[in-house]
Amino acid sequence: MLGTQRVKFFVFAIVICCYEAHSQGQIPDVDFFPGKKIFPPFVADGLEHQFSLSNVTDNRDWIGAVGGSVPVIQLAVRQTEMQVSVAATVFSRLIKSPGHLIVHTVDYRVDFPIDVRFSALVLRVALGHVSGHFADDGIERLGEKSIQYVRDYVSLAVVHDIPLMGGHVYASTGYNYNSAPVQRKQWLVQFGTEFGNFLLTDYAQLYGALDIKIKEEVSWGSIQSYQIGVKLFERNNHGLRVAYTFRRGFEERGQFFDRRETVNLISVFVDL
């Protein structure tokens, strides 16, 4: 079933691009593994695909994320661009103790997005998977009983660039066509912004961002993230970021999806 849906999405995207090319009497330019992404990351989203390390200043925890998003193929006709990408990230909550790491949870996210940019507007349709797991240390040290947490979903997102604010706004909705343990509360709504990007030096710029998720699986409860940071050595979406994030609401970790948490994070991101 999942494989069939993926094929449908790829066919849908190719049809859009071919129609655009036909209407303009052009053959689309094709580029494999383009260096620049046409869909911006939701930088304040705790489950955005990323390579990062965050310190939870409220306790001894750290959050490590290893992954990213890679555009595989790009088709372009005049002002219209389309990218097909693959994205995957592993998120771990851990404690650094003398001599070794104690890993409590390991969550996985995988996406297959298709993005289409029309000038300042970008549309995304994607198939994705999120699952949350306890690591051995988590089961032994926390005394928790594990649950099966999984979401297979289809999502639709739109981003609009706003040069006057030095950034963009976005909105997204997702539908979980397969989920556990909650099976009949399937919708997620997300919106946010990134703004500022004030140039401090030739190699540094200041930015702000916020991200809000509203999830039916927790009776329309929210996860709110507010972030301020500095981008360093940025080029074609790649670079280094140092940021502070205040996050409150329900947990991002799947094993604790119905519990509330308030955290302050100091993070280093390597934007790939």
How would residue 11 be classed by pLDDT, with cut points 50, 70 and 90?
low
The range of the structural domain enclosing residue 243 comes to 2-271
pTM above 0.85, yes or no: yes
Using one digit for the tens of pLDDT, what is the confidence trace for 20-77? 555 555 667 888 988 789 999 999 999 999 999 999 998 889 999 999 999 999 998 8
Cα 144 to Cα 225: distance, rounded to the nearest angstrom: 26
Distances from the Cα of 102 to the Cαs of 7, 85, 235, in angstroms?
40, 33, 35
Flag whether pLDDT at 1 surpasses 50. no
pLDDT of residue 210: 98
Domain count, the chain: 1
Q: Which residue has the higher pLDDT, 144 or 176?
A: 176
What three-state secondary structure class fits 141?
helix
Distance CA 195, CA 114 (A): 24
Domain CATH for 77: 2.40.160.40
Burial class (CB in 10 A: 0-12, 13-18, 19+), 18: middle
Spatial separation of the C-alpha atoms in residues 16 and 19, rounded to whole Å: 5
Mean pLDDT to the nearest integer, 173-181: 96
**Residue 23 confidence (pLDDT):** 56
Residues in the chain: 272
pLDDT at residue 2 tops 50: no
Is the distance from CB of 263 to CB of 93 less than 8 angstroms? no
Dmax over CA atoms of the chain, in Å, equals 65
Q: How distant, in Å, are the alpha carbons of 37, 59, 96, 99, 131 from that of 143?
A: 43, 18, 19, 23, 20
Task: Look at residue 52 in the predicted model and tell me its pLDDT.
Answer: 97
At 127 the pLDDT is 97
Mean pLDDT, the chain, whole residue set:
90
CB-side neighbour CA atoms (13 Å) of 230: 10
Q: For position 14, what pLDDT does the model report?
A: 54
Integer Cα distance of 132 and 90 in angstroms: 10
Instruction: Tell me the C-alpha distance between 147 and 40, whole Å.
Output: 33
Q: What whole-number distance in Å separates Cα of residue 114 and Cα of residue 88?
A: 14
